[in-house]
Amino acid sequence: MKHFALFDVLYLGQNLETRIKDFSLNEIQILSYLGCLMSIYDGNNSSDWGYFFSKNNSGYPYSIELSNAMELLSNKKMIVQSSKNNEYFNTGATGIDFIDKLSNQLSIYSNRKQYLDVALNCITLAPFGVIRTALLNEPVLTSAKRKSSILLLEESDFATNLLYAQFQELRTALNNEFESLLIPAFTWLSGNLNHQIG
Amino acid sequence: MFSFPKLTSISINNFSLYEKEGNIELDFINGVFCLAGANGLGKSTFLNLINYGLTGIVIDPSKDFTSIVSTSKFYSLNKKFAHKYFDGRVNEIDREASNIRLTFSIGDVNYEIQRSLFESEELTSYSRKIDDIDTLTNDLTNSELFSSYCQHITNDIGLASFDQFVFLQHFVLSFDENHYLLFWNNELMETSLYLFFGVDPNEAKKANELRKDIKRFGSNIRNYVYHKNKLIKDVDNLKSNIASESDLKLPHGIQEEFEELDLKNIELDKDIVLSKNKLSQTNHKISEKSYELSQKKAEYQSTFDNLFSENNNNSFLSDPRVITSLLDLKKEICDDKKTDENFKIFYTLIKDGFCKKEVNKDMGFDELKVFDKAITELEEKIKVEQTTKFRIETEIKISNNELINNSSRIFELEKEYGDILNKLSELAKSDYSGVLKVYENQIREKSAEIEEIREEKANLEKEFKKIERVLNKGYNKAEEDFIPLFNKYAHNFLGLEVDLKLRNTSKGSTLVLIVEDTERSDFFQLSESQRYFIDIALRMALIEHSCNNATLLVDTPEGSLDIAYESRAGKMFGDFVDLGFNLIMTVNINTSQLLVELANKCKSSKMQLERMTEWTHLSEVQYQEEEKIINAYKRIEEILINR
């Protein structure tokens, strides 16, 4: 179990809860992948994220580390199933206490929080389904759909190069003017969506 | 989509090597034409004749495409070789009359060409008909006929230049005796990718020329730097000779300036050496701290894991206290003694030591805080060292510039007081100053040239990147259709999961082969026969993906194939032919299952077997075993006619 994955589940989970009442593993997977892409946009390597993503059977990004973290947190009652159905969770009291400590008393997570926050803010600007569809049109996931290999964001893959090129173009177009990553993020997601509609 | 020539007939006249048959006249059926023979009869020559007929060249093995890179240069460098190649295969008496005639179609255009084996840039006859109507004007000379043919065939195929056709015909549409492999030759693969994946043929040509120029500039820069360094060394030697051979002094003031500059340069040299030492120490510190950081991160992870760890039975069962206690109990039970006391001890041991307890999260968390603090501090230290590193690098750069400025002032002084140097040189009985000036000028010129070439190279690379992006986009679009096509052929042959990945590197773009989730980019990662057939599979997939029609030429592919793969290879060829593409192959007539499987799949409607042993005289050994050879032919011919 990677501690970054466990942090991401609790941090995203708790923040999703304040926005949309509860959260699911699928939502966590999509938002942490978006967070990872934001970290790459900001100049970090994909391996700096702390765990890897692959594609699942439906072509969406998936990390076994996040899935393991969810299971562990559920066993420890740090997250509990919501009344809605089995797939949805709420953060338990021990979970709230733990993420509060990790988030506020340790420095190791301060960088990734800004990327996860961007991902979370995106779903206040557009419905989750729209964000997910937009992500499916990004070059790495588009290319992964057609491959048998499942690892995403490998450094030498041409699709990762295409993604880097897209991010470079976006940085140039926005002239590096925005301090917050939210505007580049949302512009990029909208671009992917328009690409699909067009 | 490209349309490549679909061969319909061949006629080889006055070709001395095939002496028994006289002139060879063959019609090709739709499907497989298989020229079956024995060693040394001229099977490879037959395929080279076809390629010569179509392109006017036979590949000179010493003109390797890897070092040439450009398709146009490759074509022009290989034009002369056919002459030498046919010299040993055609007798003097047949030389004038020897020629080859080919008929073929490209879409609905029918071609008929004839050329001498010793005039590669001429055609002795040429017709191009659409619906039986000839499209050519009369009264053209033989070389005009050839130019006209080059232009027509390039347009009809859908390419930008005849040299592109020459490249594709020899390296993609042929698997010849040289066994050039696309997967393990970056230059061949990249040139093919640009032509097959959505890049306009004109742009593909531009990419190919740019790649050639970038490679050339890279090698020029290396040469120039080598020469410049050599010149600098020569100047140093010359100067030390002058100094040692004279004790003349320069005029007042100049001497001091010289000495001052010289001293400064010595100091600067020392400073640079010191700074370089500091830089290496800083680099050492960075790597030390980075290692420490990775350890702290691992310890952080392990402490984090402990916060969530479960009690596990293995640690209980292997605990020495548990074992001792159990043995005590066992002894008491066996000796019929009272067990109350020892049982109580055992109970307490389990209760205190091994029963699940609420983890003291606060204690674990405090430990996490310690590691977190250490990680933050280490990251901070690394950041500081990196700032130091940047500062030292800047200092070295400044000192280097000062060194260059001082040297150029010394150079100016030398120029101004050249007469002294002349005297010095008179003393030394050599014109050192003149030689020095020539050297210094050469060094300056070389430096300027190097900068100029670097700039030009950078501009070319920028331009190349633009076309590379078009390739990436084109491949991205085509990948969905292309990978399954390749998979179909390759999986049928290998029986393993295969995948492809387009990779952009500074050396060029290439397709990387992945077998069972492992990259096979080094040639030794597959056996020879696996490499050959995977490469043929790639060509078939490229043809199926991007061509309306084509004829693939394959030279004795079964050579290194083991028995397990023979019938799979036959099936792979059969699948290709089933799609309407043509295959002309040469094989050794033997007991191989490849021919049997192919004959079974195609039957006589789609496969034609030509006995090559009737074309030329056999060796003594072959003659003694002729019956076996005839029986092998009969076996395949029977399979072809049996329903």
Q: What is the pLDDT of residue B355?
A: 66
* Mean pLDDT for the stretch of residues A26-47: 94
Could you state, in order of their start, the residue ranges of all structural domains in chain A?
Answer: 3-197
User: Residue length, chain A?
Assistant: 198
The token pair that represents A144 in the structure block:
């992964």
Task: Confirm whether B461 is domain-assigned.
Answer: no
User: What is the pLDDT confidence band of residue A119, given thresholds at 50, 70 and 90?
Assistant: very high
Task: Confirm whether B335 is domain-assigned.
Answer: no
pLDDT in tens, B16-43: 888 776 789 999 999 999 998 888 888 9
Contact criterion met (CB < 8 Å) for A3 and B304: yes
Q: What is the pLDDT of residue B192?
A: 93
Cα B317 to Cα A89: distance, rounded to the nearest angstrom: 37
Amino acid, single-letter form, for residue B89: R
The residue with tokens 């992964």 is A144
Phi, psi of B91 (to 5 degrees): -70, 160
**A98 vs B: CB within 8 A:** yes
What is the least distance, in Å, from the CA of A12 to any CA of chain B?
A: 19
How far, in whole angstroms, is CA B594 from its chain's centroid? 30
3-state secondary structure of B329: helix
Give strand pairing partners of B175.
B554
Scored b (16 or more CB within 10 A) or e, B173-207 reads bbbbbeebbbbbbbbbbbbbbbbbbbbebebbbbb
- Which chain B residues are within 8 Å of A161, Cβ to Cβ? 472, 504
Nearest to A34 by CA among A69, A68, A3, A63: A63
- CA-based nearest residue in chain B for residue A109: B372
- Which chain B residues are within 8 Å of A105, Cβ to Cβ? 365, 369
- CA-based nearest residue in chain A for residue B502: A158
Q: What is the pLDDT of residue A198?
A: 39
pLDDT in tens, A82-102: 877 788 999 999 999 999 999
For testing contact with chain B, the best of A3, A104, A111, A155 (most B CBs within 10 A) = A3
* Mean pLDDT for the stretch of residues B345-360: 70
- Which chain A residues are within 8 Å of B478, Cβ to Cβ? none
Q: What is the pLDDT of residue B12?
A: 94
Q: What is the pLDDT of residue B245?
A: 56
Phi, psi of A149 (to 5 degrees): -70, 145
Nearest to A31 by CA among A1, A57, A53, A59: A53
Cα B267 to Cα B313: distance, rounded to the nearest angstrom: 70
Percent of chain B with pLDDT over 90: 33
Contact criterion met (CB < 8 Å) for B503 and A108: no
**A151 vs B: CB within 8 A:** no
What is the least distance, in Å, from the CA of A48 to any CA of chain B?
A: 12
**B469 vs A: CB within 8 A:** yes
Contact criterion met (CB < 8 Å) for B503 and A156: yes
pLDDT in tens, B223-232: 888 888 888 8
B241 pLDDT exceeds 90? Answer: no
Residue B550, phi-psi category: left (phi > 0), alpha (psi -120 to 50), beta (remainder): beta
A53 pLDDT exceeds 90? Answer: yes
* Nearest-10 crossing angle of helices B361-416, B418-427: 80
User: What is the pLDDT confidence band of residue B419, given thresholds at 50, 70 and 90?
Assistant: low
**A195 vs B: CB within 8 A:** no
* Mean pLDDT for the stretch of residues A156-170: 89
Model confidence pTM above 0.80 = no
Percent of chain B with pLDDT over 70: 92
A175 pLDDT exceeds 90? Answer: no
- The residue range of the domain holding B54 is 6-184+522-641
Q: What is the pLDDT of residue B89?
A: 87
The residue with tokens 């890049």 is B199
Q: What is the pLDDT of residue B566?
A: 83
Instruction: Select from A148, A157, A158 the Cβ nearest to the Cβ of B497.
Output: A148
B176 pLDDT exceeds 50? Answer: yes
Contact criterion met (CB < 8 Å) for A108 and B517: no
A37 pLDDT exceeds 60? Answer: yes
Task: Confirm whether B36 is domain-assigned.
Answer: yes
User: What is the pLDDT confidence band of residue B359, given thresholds at 50, 70 and 90?
Assistant: very low
Contact criterion met (CB < 8 Å) for B308 and A1: yes
Contact status, residue B553 vs residue B52, Cβ threshold 8 Å: no
B476 or A116: whose pLDDT is higher? Answer: A116
A73 pLDDT exceeds 90? Answer: yes
User: What is the pLDDT confidence band of residue B312, given thresholds at 50, 70 and 90?
Assistant: low
Cα B37 to Cα B35: distance, rounded to the nearest angstrom: 7
ipTM above 0.90, yes or no: no
Contact criterion met (CB < 8 Å) for B472 and A162: yes
Q: What is the pLDDT of residue B352?
A: 72
Number of domains in chain B: 1
- Which chain A residues are within 8 Å of B469, Cβ to Cβ? 165
* Mean pLDDT for the stretch of residues B497-505: 86
Nearest to B187 by CA among B163, B207, B157: B207
**A175 vs B: CB within 8 A:** no
B4 pLDDT exceeds 80? Answer: yes
Lowest mean pLDDT among A189-193, B259-263, B521-525: B521-525
**A104 vs B: CB within 8 A:** no
Cα B46 to Cα B25: distance, rounded to the nearest angstrom: 12
Cα B281 to Cα B275: distance, rounded to the nearest angstrom: 10
How far, in whole angstroms, is CA A3 from its chain's centroid? 16
Contact status, residue B3 vs residue B106, Cβ threshold 8 Å: yes
Give strand pairing partners of B518.
B515
B374 pLDDT exceeds 90? Answer: yes
B315, B316, B317, B353, B358 from B312: Cα distances, Å? 6, 7, 9, 12, 15
Lowest mean pLDDT among B313-322, B369-378, B390-399: B313-322
3-state secondary structure of B173: coil
- Which chain A residues are within 8 Å of B304, Cβ to Cβ? 3, 6
CATH number at residue B631: 3.40.50
Contact criterion met (CB < 8 Å) for B475 and A158: yes
Contact criterion met (CB < 8 Å) for B480 and A2: no
Contact status, residue B102 vs residue B112, Cβ threshold 8 Å: yes
**B287 vs A: CB within 8 A:** no
A197 pLDDT exceeds 50? Answer: no
- Which chain B residues are within 8 Å of A195, Cβ to Cβ? none
User: What is the pLDDT confidence band of residue B251, given thresholds at 50, 70 and 90?
Assistant: low
Contact criterion met (CB < 8 Å) for B505 and A142: no
User: What is the pLDDT confidence band of residue A154, given thresholds at 50, 70 and 90?
Assistant: confident
Give residues with Cβ within 8 angstroms of B257, minimum separation 6.
Answer: B409, B413
